[in-house]
Amino acid sequence: MKYYLEKLVEGKSLLEIEMEEAVQEMFTQDTTDAEIASFLTGLKSKGETAEEVSGLVKAIRKHALNFTKNIPNVLDNCGTGGDGSKSFNISTTSAFVIAGAGITVAKHGNRSVSSKTGSADVLEALGVSLDFSPEATEEILEQNGIAFLFAPHVHPKLKQIMKVRRDLKIPTIFNLIGPLTNPVQLDYQLLGIYRRDLLDKFAHVLANLNRKRAIVINGAGGMDEASLAGENEMVIVSDGEIRHTRLKPEEVNLPVYDNSRIRGGDARDNADILLQVLKGKKGAHRDTVLLNAGLGIYTAGKAESILQGVDLAAESIDSGRALAKLENLISISNRNKKAVG
């Protein structure tokens, strides 16, 4: 670690392979908490490069639980958190809508970070199990088209690093990379990020991670989701090519809502919002999900435009297919709990 720490202190960036090696060292018992803290603060002070973020993500994925099946055309849709909007669980609700449109979704997530309720909290309130094995998760992906991967469960070796993060009490690169560390091999990704200045950097990371297609989006008002409050800034990654663009609600025939209209509550409140949206209730919650699910459907190549993606998202809800995906996952979870019990 000494070599890598000295490079960071000198303001020098690490190569991707060096970053992988440094993170590998952090997983060993020989590395102290002080060294990990110095490494994370050194990166933050210098400013992380796309190569460094890619190396970090690749190293973390190597130490995750082993997912071996090569399931084709899998997507994840997830925000980094940190926007302070206290919104309901937009990406989690959208995941079921995307799955209902015929796209396989490996939803990677955690408990609450910046909102009152994280994806794990709301799914647990709905009766979804958080501790499926890799084999069971892969089977669910193949049979149901959507499964949830609880980050602490699939990344058990990160405990020491997470402890250092909590002790530091300052944001580090780990506050932003959660959505990138999904251990399932993804072809497509919709990534929300609350910092507009990092859009391009994370687009390059997704290109480095060989996504066939991905969108990195910063929503109006600084949200880590697409927002109906105004103009959304996004970067589209397609076969290694990177393109910047913007999106307004009126371009996809959706109304404008202030972000205050989509605030959520505790896990039970947000579970109720999620259910109401999947059952077809109209309003700001549904329209926000239509926008985000439409982007996911477009990202996965199921729609030729975002507008068509929004239309397919509405069809997924109104047909009952989105709700059926959730009900199937709850049913599978109940069987799993009985088998374990």
CA angle 116, 118, 120 (to 5 degrees): 140
- Indicate whether 264 belongs to any domain: yes
pLDDT higher than threshold 70 for residue 338: no
Enter the tokens of residue 28: 């060993």
Q: Is 89 annotated as a binding residue?
A: yes
For the entire predicted model, the pTM comes to 0.96
- Is residue 135 a part of any domain in this protein? yes
Single-letter residue type at 259: N
Query: Annotation-wise, does 200 bind a ligand?
Result: no
91 is in an annotated binding site: yes
SS3 100: helix
90 marked ligand binding residue: yes
Collapsing DSSP states into helix, strand and coil, what is residue 168? helix
Specify the number of domains making up the chain: 1
Q: Is residue 224 part of an annotated ligand binding site?
A: yes
Does 112 show up as a binding residue in the annotation?
Answer: yes
**Is residue 92 part of an annotated ligand binding site?**
yes
Residue 280 lies in a domain: yes
264 known member of a binding site: no
Binned at pLDDT 50, 70 and 90, residue 337 comes out as: low
Query: How confident is the model at residue 116, as a pLDDT?
Result: 67
Contact 267, 241 (CB under 8 A): no
Q: Where are the beta strands (DSSP E) in 66-212?
A: 74-79, 104-109, 146-150, 188-192
Instruction: Decide: helix, strand or coil at residue 171.
Output: coil
* 341, pLDDT greater than 60: no
pLDDT score of 205 more than 70: yes
244 annotated among ligand-binding-site residues? no
Say whether 30 counts as a known binding-site residue.
no
pLDDT band at 86 (very low <50, low <70, confident <90, very high): confident
Q: Taking 60 as the threshold, does the pLDDT of residue 336 lie above it?
A: yes
pLDDT digits (tens, 9 = 90+) for 274-290: 999 999 999 999 999 99
pLDDT band at 115 (very low <50, low <70, confident <90, very high): low
155 is in an annotated binding site: no
165 is in an annotated binding site: yes
In this structure, what token pair is assigned to residue 7?
């490079």
Q: Is the pLDDT of residue 97 over 60?
A: yes
Strands 74-79 and 232-238, how do they pair? unpaired
Q: Is 45 annotated as a binding residue?
A: no
Q: Are 141 and 147 within 8 A, CB to CB?
A: yes
Residue 74 near residue 104, CB atoms below 8 Å: yes
Q: Which residues contact 262 (CB under 8 A, 6 or more apart)?
A: 85, 87, 88, 90, 284, 285, 288
Answer whether residue 91 is part of any domain: yes
pLDDT value for 83: 83
Q: Is 82 annotated as a binding residue?
A: yes
Q: What percent of the chain has pLDDT over 70?
A: 97
Identify the band that residue 339 occupies on the pLDDT scale cut at 50, 70 and 90: low
266: left (phi over 0), alpha (psi -120 to 50) or beta: beta
Q: For residue 108, give the DSSP letter.
A: E
CA distance 95 to 90: 9
Q: Has residue 195 been placed in a domain?
A: yes
What are the tokens at 268? 């039970």
Sheet holding 232-238, edge to edge: 146-150, 104-109, 74-79, 188-192, 213-218, 232-238, 241-247
Distance CA 309, CA 294 (A): 4
227 annotated as belonging to a binding site for a ligand: no
- Is 196 annotated to bind a ligand? Reply is no
Q: How many CB atoms are located within 10 Å of the residue 236 CB?
A: 18
Residue 110 annotated as binding site: yes
Within-domain flag for 58: no
- Output the pLDDT for position 39: 96
Print the domain residue range for 144. Answer: 74-154+184-328
Higher pLDDT, 102 or 117: 102
Q: Is residue 33 situated within a structural domain?
A: no
pLDDT confidence tier of residue 96, bands split at 50, 70 and 90: very high
Give one word for 264, left, alpha or beta, with left for phi > 0 and alpha for psi -120 to 50. beta
339 lies in a domain?
no
Q: Can you give the pLDDT at residue 32?
A: 94
- Per-residue pLDDT of 162-183, as tens digits, reads 899 889 989 999 989 999 999 9
User: Residue 138, annotated ligand binder?
Assistant: no
Q: What is the CATH number of the domain that holds 271?
A: 3.40.1030.10
